[in-house]
């Protein structure tokens, strides 16, 4: 049975470790420098862009779970901030991880009866669909980050 605690745990583990795949965002980014994260490649998104994109959807779901409006739009999900040095990169990552921790708490604390309810509008499906999709989305982009890291070795 899918519970809010179960979903929260899986989202948390995709960002911080302890999942079945053995890959998590925090470890994947541990040795990625600002220069590497912002490296431009005409055929791929930057690591910074991918991390922003991942966190953009976490933020959207977090806002809904905090009883605010869903204001994110897919068209803006790649509009990542300009980061110009290592300190800004480290701060950006810390903000992403804080957002994920907060979102995991919101998920765990939400009423499980919401899982089968409509997430904002019928076209978005249920809360369960969106929460599980967030986990799948994270793992998908973790794969991209892993490949980008290997390309630069």
Each residue's pLDDT tens digit, 49-61: 999 999 999 999 9
- State the Cα–Cα distance between residues 110 and 113, nearest whole angstrom: 9
**Mean pLDDT score, 138-149:** 94
pLDDT value for 59? 98
Contacting residues for 55 by C-beta, under 8 A, at least 6 apart:
96, 99, 100
Four-way CATH pick for 4-151: 3.60.9.10, 2.60.120.10, 3.40.50.150, 1.20.120.450: 1.20.120.450
Q: Average pLDDT of 91-120?
A: 97
Tell me how far apart the alpha carbons of residues 141 and 148 are, in angstroms, rounded to a whole number: 11
CA geometry: angle 133, 15, 73, nearest 5 deg: 45
Of the pLDDT bands very low, low, confident and very high (cuts 50, 70, 90), residue 1 is low
SS3 79: coil
Q: Is the pLDDT of residue 153 over 70?
A: no
Mean pLDDT of 116-123: 97
Q: How many CA atoms lie within 13 A of 65 on its CB side?
A: 27
Given a contact cutoff of 8 angstroms between Cβ atoms, the answer to whether 73 and 63 are in contact is: no
- For residues 29 and 90, what is the distance between their CA atoms, to the nearest angstrom? 10
């Amino acid at each position: 049975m899918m519970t809010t605690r179960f979903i929260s745990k899986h989202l948390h583990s995709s960002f911080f470790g302890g999942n079945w795949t053995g890959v998590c965002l925090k470890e994947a980014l541990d040795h990625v420098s600002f220069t590497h994260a912002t490296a431009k490649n005409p055929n791929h998104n930057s690591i910074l862009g991918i991390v922003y994109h991942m966190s953009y959807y976490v933020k959207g779901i977090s806002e809904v779970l905090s009883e605010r409006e869903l204001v994110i739009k897919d068209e803006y999900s790649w509009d990542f901030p300009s980061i110009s040095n290592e300190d800004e990169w480290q701060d950006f990552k810390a903000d992403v991880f804080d957002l994920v921790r907060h979102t995991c708490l919101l998920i765990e604390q939400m009423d499980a009866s919401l899982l089968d309810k409509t997430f904002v509008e019928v076209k978005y499906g249920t809360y369960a669909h969106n929460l599980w999709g967030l986990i799948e989305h994270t793992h998908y982009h973790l794969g991209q980050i892993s490949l980008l890291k290997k390309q630069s070795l």
